[in-house]
Chain A
Amino acid sequence: MAQAEPSQLLPAREQMAFTLGFHIILVPFGVAFTFITMLANYRAIRHGDANARLLAERWSKVAAVLFAVGAVSGTVLSFEMGLLWPGLMSTYGAAYGVPFAVEGIFFFLEAIFVAIYIYGWNRMRPWLHFWCGLPVVLAGVGGTFSVVAANSWMNTPGGITLQDGKVVSVDMWKVFFNQSFWYEALHMLLAAYVVAGFAVAGVYAVGMLRGRRGGYHRLGLLMPLTVGGIASVLQIVMGDFIARYVFDSEPAKFAAIEALPHTQDQAPEVLGGIFVNGDVRFGLPIPSGASLLSGFKPSTTVQGLDAIPASVRPPDHLVAIVHLAFDVMVGTGFALAALALWFAVSWWRTRARRPGRWFLRAVAVSGLVAVVSLEAGWVVTEVGRQPWTVVGLLLTRDAVQRSGNVWPLFAGALAIYVGITVGAVYALRALRRSWARGEAISGPYEPGRAVGGARCTEQT
């Protein structure tokens, strides 16, 4: 670690973390929100439910705003691949880039059918319109898988032949379906459903806390909460599989997650704590916890940080970040699953006729908790990979832009992203207000903003 860090490494990493962290919040609304909307749309057509119809149409308009911001903030990430990490693209673009090419197809389909679906309300026959929404859901799955394929390849690169540091042959199948692909892909897909489900339900929980307890709000709470709840329970099962997979195949990351200084059996599972000077302090150790969880018996040997060659061992502060982020992810994940069980029990007992205030309060904040969980998860996978960009092949300091100055770009990005966050809040608030007005005047059976003759009818 004696080598001096390249001057652009810090701003490049900060900018990547910030823009990726921003974009990832919008991803669930492109990937999973549409599914929830389609559920409402299906219910509306199948059962003639006017509330479901209104919810579906409004949700699609919210999705339109979020999808637009997601599309452009995703474009920033594509540019940053080159602007910040030219060393990654020039050497490994031939392999690493192709999953993104596949993603391009899904992104295209998403953009096309999102437009048809959003603008097709009241214009197309109901079932045709419904079927135009379905490709968006499928493209969300395909897009997630493609992008995660690229990301998981960085963790477990495979399918390439190197000669003199150059990629000379590529097995695309092995690049895409690399060792960690299914674990990461399903984990992220479930995460998208968790975030979208709880976040949307939270909006209606707030409404119900303010006394709006009609069928419209009830349905707006129940549908997304069911989706998010099921996903959150599945995520616990998925997480358990992934933890053992990381233990088996990415021992360096596992050591950082567990903040385990030395290779040992009867390795404790330390909850919380700060990793300084090569050891965890102030944590709550569960004796043999890590050994039990990874191998089902206390005698399981867990590789510690000392097993990593000193030249590529992550520094203490990164270990601390990975360890805490993991604890936050797991803690919030369990909290959400517990809320899902609470929901299931209260539904079973009372058919959720009058959800309690504490339950509603928990749902109201659950979206935020889910976002925290999502961000923490990405911190685990991205920081947990350091000092590598492509594990075993490319160090992050060799991937970064060598000349120029990234700080002004970062400053510009910060300013613009703050601006569009404010803009998005205002835009969503404007939508809510116009609906609140419309609801009071025209009732739930007349969607749209039929106020003051502002709406012109088309005469084609």
Chain B
Amino acid sequence: MSEVSVLSAARQRGAMPLRGRSYMAFALTPDPPIADWLEGLDAWLRGSSGFFAGRPVVLDLSAVTLTSAAIGHLISELGTRGVRIMGLEGVAAEKLGPGLPPLVSGGRPAPAEAIAARSQPTPPQERAPASLLVESAVRSGQAIFHPDGDVTVLGSVGSGAEVIAGGSIHIYGTLRGRAMAGTSGNRKARIFCQHLEAELLAIDGYYRTAEDLDMELQGRPVQAWLANETLFIAEIDR
């Protein structure tokens, strides 16, 4: 086990703030012959499959002598076993081509339990269909993309702007741009807007452009829903 320092780079040229940060990672140390070592790893993984999934692993090559191609091969072999290598240790820098993970150094040993606890992959939680609230207007050229749930826009959605939601879309201003609801296959999603001047409405891929919209609905508060593979649009009765 070792500790690895990684530099995290943030945007902007020139004034780029570079911050160091250290992380805990597992270190795998293959010993020759590699084929036997891989077999041993396989045997161990049969007992604890998925152990390395989502965990940072550093490959310590100090015990073996490998060519650049062999390193690449080993990394891809590990990849097929669900082990993703984030860095290499104990190998000459010249051997590292652009396709290989970067060289890390200065690692310190750490107890395996500590790192297993720290790097515990977060369990895939049941994500509630979180809704997204947009308090301003969505301007032309902007896109609101929220594949996980509903989107509510308090302002207007400008011509040339788009709102894409996995769930339903609620627009309290004027909808002049595009609204696409239920994009992740949710046919029960709906689109609501206070004032319809939309360029396009779509639910789960079924769409209507401005041309196909009933002129009577222009400027009206409407809802759109999907039934029998047809997109219906009607004024909201108040």
The yes or no verdict on A and B being binding partners is no
